[in-house]
Amino acid sequence: MHKVNFEEELEKILERDPRYDREAYHFVREALEYTQKMLKNRGRGRTETRHVTGQQLLEGIREYALEQFGPMAITVFEEWGIRRCEDFGEIVFNMVEQGLLSKTKDDSRADFQGGYDFDVAFRQPFLPSSKLIPPRESKAG
């Protein structure tokens, strides 16, 4: 079987869709590996590489970003063109379409919608308790 060259395929993605920085794709790839290890260590994974859902990946991205970038995570993401969870979905599916990642028939970009508020996920952990961001009220309707 032909081995896919990540950098060559990434170059094709960037030519087709320049919205996100090259580093964003490397980060998502690393965050996926982090998430797979995290799930395995928490007892929810088997020993082999397993499928990760969009919501699981978003949680892994959040944890990995806080670990790697600390309070600068949101700034780094903005620099890369990432402003909401849906952007991670776009990156993932660009990689799927280029053969860098695989998906199941149930996976879709919609899995990344409404994941979390970036301010709450990436700023709040570093705020003093008197400055915590209250959760947004949902509108019933």
- The ranges assigned to domains in the chain are 27-126
DSSP 45: S
Give pLDDT, residue 133: 63
pLDDT in tens, 97-140: 999 999 999 999 999 998 999 999 999 999 887 766 666 665 54
pLDDT tier at 2, thresholds 50, 70, 90: low
Scanning 17-72, the segments in alpha helix (DSSP H) are 22-41, 54-69
Give pLDDT, residue 53: 94
pLDDT in tens, 32-91: 999 999 998 887 545 556 789 999 999 999 999 999 999 999 999 999 999 999 999 999
Encoded tokens for 136:
């947004």
Give pLDDT, residue 141: 44
Give pLDDT, residue 96: 96
Give pLDDT, residue 136: 63
Under 8 Å between Cβ of 59 and 1:
no
